[in-house]
């Protein structure tokens, strides 16, 4: 078997990887954690699924991805196979979405079927594969640490010796089953035999003869007693018959006496009954007379000529017709009465309504008059106020007659005067200031003149022009004084004129106000006048309407009275009709009385007839009874003659005797019959036992034959079981010997040390290592490296044994070693290289080794480098030429 190609997608650290694998030694190398082991696991997973890796599907799919694919192509026994697995995440779980194996003429679908198919094809299940072909990392010590029996199981399993054990166990089970059945049958047989013996000892035939003789004797006795019993019964019956006849006659006599007494009594009582009936008939006849009288009297009260049912019916029809007429009239008149009184009521209501509406209108009219009066009063007040206004207006207007301005110009006039006054005041102030100034200069000039200096320049004043100006100054002052007094006069005049103007402005404003008021009042007076007019007219209209309504109310009232009178008339008619109805009812009741009387009469008459009939029939019955009475008397005297007492006594004695005998014989017979029954059942029992004996003998023969057959079967199964056991032991012994030899050869090859003489693998699969001096060592006592070498040897030996054992029937899978050099020093790595060479020489087609050891790399035919991208954490593979790599590395080393 050979792996050809593996393709991965999202398997563990691999995103996308496709790797071709070839014959020879392939070394997979790379740094720790780069994904080397994962690559091997992928091959293993492809073949057997996740459980074989002790992992879940979740573990094999690259974390964070949703889908993974694993494809493995391999060649086996000349055929090419392809396994394709696809995993898909659904929720938290990962499921196998596809698992398909295709090979020559075969296609297997489904994870379980594929696993089964691969195990059959390679003749190895996952565990066997791991034990023989795939040395997993860290599991080097597994076979050494295993107990001998575990080791035995593993190796037996690989060599398919387990099958023989299975067959042996099965044969053992069959033997045990046969033993169970045999024991049970043997028990049954001895039971049957002891039963037969017991029965044969019992002397069944003799017992049967004795019982049958006794039964014959008892039967004879029974027959005899039965004959005698029959005779006694006959005697007793005859006596009983005699007694019975006697008893019957006595009974008949008693009965007859009773009958005779009864008959006589019945006849007498019936005669009394007839008497009563006769007087009842008489009474009924009287009553008929009385009823006839009453009928005649009643008829006289009616219009009937004769009292027949036809006449009564005719009269009743007449009355019914009359009643119907009256009732229909009554209905009409009642309706009319109701209608009229309703109308009267309505009319009265209308009249009242009109009246109340008229009253309303009148009170409204009164209110309107009041309003009009109020309005007139106000009108007068306003007129008076208007007159006052006009008087004031007139006097104020008069104020303007001697005024300096016209009405309406007072304000502008006042403003003019105020302006002029302001000008005059300003002029006055100016003039005053100038006067002051001129006076100051004059004073200064006078002082200078007095000092003799020019007031202007302080030069001596001789002929100074400045002194001349004193005169000027004095003239100017005079002038200014005149202007001042003039201005003062003007100011006074203006002040009084302003006062007057302001009072005029006030008057003028007041006149404006008054004029407005007057206009307003005039308008209001006009309004009041209109209101008075309107109210009065409206009151008038309302009163007219009230008059009209009152007239209408009067009309309605009259009409109401008319209708009420008509209603009263109708009511009277109703009363008349009702009394008519009453008299019709009376007439009808008279007719009823008559019919009642008539039917009573008929009843009484038929009662009389009935009573007469009863009397008659009673008489007939009594005649019959008298005849029967005579007969019974005759029979009584006849019987009295027949009864004879002595015959009776004789019969009684005979009967008693027979009865005594019967009692005794019945007892005896019962005893005998019981005895017979028990004898018969004893005979039945003996016969039954004889039959049983026969059946038991048949059973015994059958059981004996069966036990013989089982015994020979048991012997056969024992042989078979022993044969499988021997065969396995023999095969195992052969295997153990071969395995021991191969283990020693391999160990010599890889260890090549003089310390150990040989390894022993005994029949119990116990492994022992012997040192040169002959002391024995448990393999677990070896050093780590020695143990690794020992294990490798054991594995390779098993692999070789298997390869030879199968003898080409099923080509061996590739030998897969994961990190075999971990514990080895460089010398031993070379030995491992030798081992690998040897395995190849021995015909192992494909060897796949995971290692980072250079020497092993050198031994490789094919080199696969695994790398992991540190940023993406995804692994990838690269196929390289081993020669080149070694060269490059040693170059780098120099």
Q: Which residues bind Zn ion (CB under 5 A)?
A: 36-37
What part of residues 163-222 is at the interface with ligand ATP (CB under 6 A)? Answer: none
Closer Cβ to ligand ATP, 185 or 874, answer by number: 874
Stretch that binds ligand ATP, among 34-42, 216-224, 459-467, 683-691 (CB under 6 A): 34-42
Using an 8 Å Cβ cutoff, are 288 and 636 in contact?
no
SS3 of 456, please? coil
Q: Is 132 annotated as a binding residue?
A: no
Stretch that binds ligand ATP, among 27-35, 306-314, 530-538, 823-831 (CB under 6 A): 27-35
Closer Cβ to ligand ATP, 64 or 78, answer by number: 64
Q: Does 805 bind ligand ATP (CB under 6 A)?
A: no
* Cα gap 555→351, rounded to integer Å: 8
- Distance of closest approach, residue 870 Cβ to Zn ion, in angstroms: 17
Closer Cβ to Zn ion, 39 or 347, answer by number: 39
* Cα gap 133→671, rounded to integer Å: 99
Q: Is 595 annotated as a binding residue?
A: no
Residue 452 touches which member of Zn ion, ligand ATP, none, C-beta under 5-8 Å by kind: none
Angle at 587 between CA 583 and CA 593, to 5 degrees: 140
H/E element holding 2? strand 2-11
Which of 132, 111, 60 shows the shortest CA–CA distance to 89?
60
* Cα gap 476→483, rounded to integer Å: 11
- Phi first, then psi: what are they for 872, rounded to 5°? -90, -15
Q: Does 871 bind ligand ATP (CB under 6 A)?
A: no
Closer Cβ to ligand ATP, 41 or 157, answer by number: 41
Residue 103 touches which member of ligand ATP, Zn ion, none, C-beta under 5-8 Å by kind: none
User: For the stretch 265-278, what's the b/e string if a residue is b when 16 or more beta carbons lie within 10 angstroms of its beta carbon?
Assistant: eebeebeeeeeebe
Q: Is 796 annotated as a binding residue?
A: no
- Distance of closest approach, residue 821 Cβ to ligand ATP, in angstroms: 12
Put the strands of the sheet holding 756-761 in their side by side order: 756-761, 767-771, 776-777
* Cα gap 203→210, rounded to integer Å: 11
Residue 12 touches which member of ligand ATP, Zn ion, none, C-beta under 5-8 Å by kind: ligand ATP
- Distance of closest approach, residue 179 Cβ to Zn ion, in angstroms: 56
Pairing between strand 79-90 and 875-880? unpaired
Stretch that binds ligand ATP, among 29-37, 301-309, 342-350, 659-667 (CB under 6 A): 29-37
Closer Cβ to Zn ion, 44 or 756, answer by number: 44
Q: Pick from 9, 17, 37, 431 the residue near ligand ATP by CB under 6 A.
A: 37
Q: Pick from 16, 51, 56, 59 the residue near ligand ATP by CB under 6 A.
A: 59
Q: Does 63 bind ligand ATP (CB under 6 A)?
A: yes
Burial class (CB in 10 A: 0-12, 13-18, 19+), 419: exposed
The 108-147 site mask, x for binding ligand ATP (CB under 6 A), equals -----------------------------x----------
Closer Cβ to ligand ATP, 326 or 817, answer by number: 817
Q: State whether the Cα torsion 371-373-376-380 is positive or negative.
A: negative
- Applying CB under 6 A, the site for ligand ATP has a residue count of 15
Q: Which two tokens stand for residue 334?
A: 């009642």
H/E element holding 288? helix 204-301
- Distance of closest approach, residue 78 Cβ to ligand ATP, in angstroms: 32
Q: Pick from 38, 604, 744, 791 the residue near ligand ATP by CB under 6 A.
A: 38
Q: Does 154 bind ligand ATP (CB under 6 A)?
A: no
Pairing between strand 862-868 and 875-880? antiparallel
- Distance of closest approach, residue 87 Cβ to ligand ATP, in angstroms: 11
Could you identify the residue written with the tokens 């697995």?
85
Q: Pick from 30, 103, 813, 814 the residue near ligand ATP by CB under 6 A.
A: 30
Closer Cβ to Zn ion, 137 or 145, answer by number: 137
Closer Cβ to ligand ATP, 38 or 746, answer by number: 38
Q: Is 99 annotated as a binding residue?
A: no
Could you identify the residue written with the tokens 């309303």?
360
Closer Cβ to Zn ion, 69 or 819, answer by number: 819
* Cα gap 41→261, rounded to integer Å: 133
Q: Does 36 bind ligand ATP (CB under 6 A)?
A: yes
* Cα gap 263→631, rounded to integer Å: 12
Closer Cβ to Zn ion, 36 or 168, answer by number: 36
- Distance of closest approach, residue 26 Cβ to ligand ATP, in angstroms: 15
Residue 413 touches which member of Zn ion, ligand ATP, none, C-beta under 5-8 Å by kind: none
- Distance of closest approach, residue 101 Cβ to ligand ATP, in angstroms: 24
Q: State whether the Cα torsion 468-471-477-479 is positive or negative.
A: negative
Using an 8 Å Cβ cutoff, are 223 and 589 in contact?
no
Q: Is 34 annotated as a binding residue?
A: yes
- Distance of closest approach, residue 49 Cβ to Zn ion, in angstroms: 21
Using an 8 Å Cβ cutoff, are 591 and 315 in contact?
yes
Residue 543 touches which member of ligand ATP, Zn ion, none, C-beta under 5-8 Å by kind: none
Helix axes 826-841, 645-751, angle to 10 degrees: 110
Which of 130, 199, 168, 262 shows the shortest CA–CA distance to 628?
262
Query: How many CB atoms are closer than 10 A to CB 746?
Result: 24
Q: Pick from 7, 35, 151, 736 the residue near ligand ATP by CB under 6 A.
A: 35
Strand partners, 862: 26
H/E element holding 850? strand 846-850
Closer Cβ to ligand ATP, 38 or 821, answer by number: 38
H/E element holding 235? helix 204-301
Q: Pick from 9, 26, 62, 865 the residue near ligand ATP by CB under 6 A.
A: 62
Burial class (CB in 10 A: 0-12, 13-18, 19+), 570: buried
Residue 76 touches which member of ligand ATP, Zn ion, none, C-beta under 5-8 Å by kind: none
Stretch that binds ligand ATP, among 56-64, 126-134, 745-753, 784-792 (CB under 6 A): 56-64
Stretch that binds ligand ATP, among 61-69, 122-130, 247-255, 548-556 (CB under 6 A): 61-69
Stretch that binds ligand ATP, among 58-66, 367-375, 690-698, 796-804 (CB under 6 A): 58-66
Pairing between strand 24-30 and 862-868? parallel
Closer Cβ to ligand ATP, 13 or 455, answer by number: 13
* Cα gap 375→525, rounded to integer Å: 10
* Cα gap 306→313, rounded to integer Å: 12
Q: Which two tokens stand for residue 148?
A: 């001998």
Q: State whether the Cα torsion 85-125-167-810 is positive or negative.
A: positive
Length of the chain: 894
Residue 31: DSSP 8-state: S
* Cα gap 81→69, rounded to integer Å: 17
Q: Is 772 annotated as a binding residue?
A: no
Residue 59 touches which member of Zn ion, ligand ATP, none, C-beta under 5-8 Å by kind: ligand ATP
What part of residues 807-866 is at the interface with ligand ATP (CB under 6 A)? Answer: none
- Distance of closest approach, residue 840 Cβ to Zn ion, in angstroms: 23
* Cα gap 788→145, rounded to integer Å: 12
Q: Does 13 bind ligand ATP (CB under 6 A)?
A: yes
Q: Is 454 annotated as a binding residue?
A: yes
Q: Is 298 annotated as a binding residue?
A: no
Residue 876 touches which member of Zn ion, ligand ATP, none, C-beta under 5-8 Å by kind: none
Annotated binding site: 12, 32-38, 137, 454, 457
List binding-site positions for ATP.
12, 32-38, 137
Return residues touching ligand ATP (CB under 6 A). 12-13, 30, 32-38, 59, 61-63, 137
Enumerate the known binding-site residues for Zn(2+). Answer: 454, 457
């Amino acid at each position: 078997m050979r792996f050809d190609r593996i393709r991965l997608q999202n398997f563990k650290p691999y995103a996308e990887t496709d790797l071709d694998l070839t014959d020879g030694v392939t070394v997979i190398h790379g740094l720790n954690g780069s994904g080397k082991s994962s690559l091997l696991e992928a091959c293993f997973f492809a073949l057997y699924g996740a459980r074989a890796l002790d992992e879940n599907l979740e573990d094999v799919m690259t974390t964070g991805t949703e889908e993974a694919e694993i494809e493995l192509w391999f060649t086996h026994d000349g055929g090419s196979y392809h396994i394709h697995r696809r995993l898909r995440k659904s929720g938290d779980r990962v499921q196998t979405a596809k698992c398909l194996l295709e090979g020559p003429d075969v296609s297997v679908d489904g994870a379980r079927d594929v696993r089964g198919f691969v195990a059959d094809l390679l003749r190895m299940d996952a565990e066997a594969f791991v034990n023989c072909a795939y040395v997993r990392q860290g599991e080097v010590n597994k076979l050494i640490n295993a107990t001998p029996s575990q080791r035995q199981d593993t190796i037996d399993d690989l060599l398919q010796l387990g099958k023989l054990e299975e067959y042996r166990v099965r044969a053992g089970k069959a033997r045990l089953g046969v033993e169970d059945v045999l024991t049970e049958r043997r028990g049954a047989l001895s039971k049957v035999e002891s039963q037969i013996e017991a029965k044969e000892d019992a002397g069944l035939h003799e017992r049967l003869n004795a019982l049958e003789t006794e039964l014959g004797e008892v039967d004879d006795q029974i027959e005899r007693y039965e004959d005698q019993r029959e005779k006694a019964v006959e005697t007793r019956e005859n006596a009983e018959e005699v007694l019975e006849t006697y008893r019957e006659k006595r009974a008949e006599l008693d009965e007859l006496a009773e009958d005779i007494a009864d008959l006589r009594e019945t006849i007498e009582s019936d005669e009394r009954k007839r008497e009563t009936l006769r007087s009842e008939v008489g009474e009924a006849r009287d009553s008929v007379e009385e009823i006839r009288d009453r009928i005649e009297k009643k008829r006289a009260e009616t219009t009937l000529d004769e009292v027949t049912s036809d006449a009564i019916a005719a009269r009743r029809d007449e009355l019914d017709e009359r009643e119907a007429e009256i009732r229909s009239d009554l209905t009409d008149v009642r309706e009319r009465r109701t209608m009229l009184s309703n109308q009267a009521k309505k009319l009265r209501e209308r009249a009242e309504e009109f009246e109340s509406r008229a009253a309303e209108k009148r009170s409204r009219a009164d209110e309107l008059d009041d309003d009009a009066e109020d309005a007139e009063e106000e009108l007068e007040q306003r007129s008076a106020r208007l007159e006052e206004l006009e008087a004031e207006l007139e006097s104020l207007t008069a104020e303007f007659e001697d005024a300096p301005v016209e009405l309406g110009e007072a304000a502008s006039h006042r403003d003019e005067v105020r302006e002029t006054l302001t000008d005059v005041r300003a002029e006055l102030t100016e003039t005053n200031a100038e006067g002051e100034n001129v006076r100051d200069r004059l004073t200064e000039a006078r002082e200078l003149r007095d000092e003799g200096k020019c007031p202007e320049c302080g030069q001596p004043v001789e002929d100074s022009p400045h002194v001349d100006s004193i005169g000027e100054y004095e003239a100017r002052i005079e002038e200014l004084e005149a202007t001042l007094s003039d201005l003062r006069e003007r100011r006074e005049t203006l002040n009084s004129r302003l006062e007057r103007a302001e009072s005029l402005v006030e008057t003028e404003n007041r006149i404006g106000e008054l004029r407005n008021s007057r206009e307003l009042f005039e308008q209001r007076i006009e309004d009041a006048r209109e209101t008075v007019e309107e109210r009065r007219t409206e009151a008038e209209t309302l009163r007219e309407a009230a008059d009209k309504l009152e007239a209408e109310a009067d009309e309605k009232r009259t009409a109401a009275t008319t209708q009420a009178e008509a209603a009263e008339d109708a009511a009277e008619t109703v009363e008349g009709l009702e009394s008519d109805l009453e008299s019709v009812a009376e007439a009808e009741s008279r007719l009823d009385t008559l019919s009642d009387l008539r039917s009573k009469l008929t009843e009484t008459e038929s009662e009389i007839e009935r009573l007469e009939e009863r009397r008659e029939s009673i008489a007939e019955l009594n005649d019959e009874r008298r005849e029967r009475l005579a007969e019974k008397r005759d029979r009584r005297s006849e019987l009295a003659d027949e009864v004879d007492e002595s015959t009776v006594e004789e019969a009684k004695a005979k009967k008693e005797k027979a009865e005594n005998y019967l009692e005794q014989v019945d007892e005896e017979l019962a005893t005998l019959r019981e005895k017979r029954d028990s004898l018969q059942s004893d005979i039945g029992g003996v016969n039954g036992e004889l039959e049983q004996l026969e059946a038991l003998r048949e059973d015994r023969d059958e059981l004996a034959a069966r036990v013989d057959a089982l015994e020979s079967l048991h012997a056969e199964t024992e042989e078979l079981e022993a044969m499988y056991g021997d065969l396995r032991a023999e095969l195992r012994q052969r295997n153990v010997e071969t395995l021991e030899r191969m283990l020693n050869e391999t160990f010599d090859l890889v260890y090549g040390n003089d310390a150990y003489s040989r390894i022993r693998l005994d029949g119990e699969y116990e492994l022992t290592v012997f040192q040169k001096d002959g002391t024995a060592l448990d393999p677990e006592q070896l050093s780590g490296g020695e143990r690794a070498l020992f294990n490798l040897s054991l594995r390779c030996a098993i692999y070789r044994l298997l390869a030879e054992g199968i003898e080409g029937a099923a080509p061996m899978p590739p030998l897969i070693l994961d990190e075999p050099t971990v514990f080895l020093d460089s010398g031993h790595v070379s030995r491992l290289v030798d081992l690998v060479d040897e395995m190849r020489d021995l015909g192992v087609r494909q060897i796949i080794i995971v290692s980072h050891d250079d020497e092993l790399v050198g031994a490789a035919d094919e080199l696969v480098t695994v790398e992991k991208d540190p940023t993406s954490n995804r692994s990838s593979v690269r196929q390289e030429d081993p020669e080149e790599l070694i060269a490059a590395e040693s170059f780098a080393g120099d």
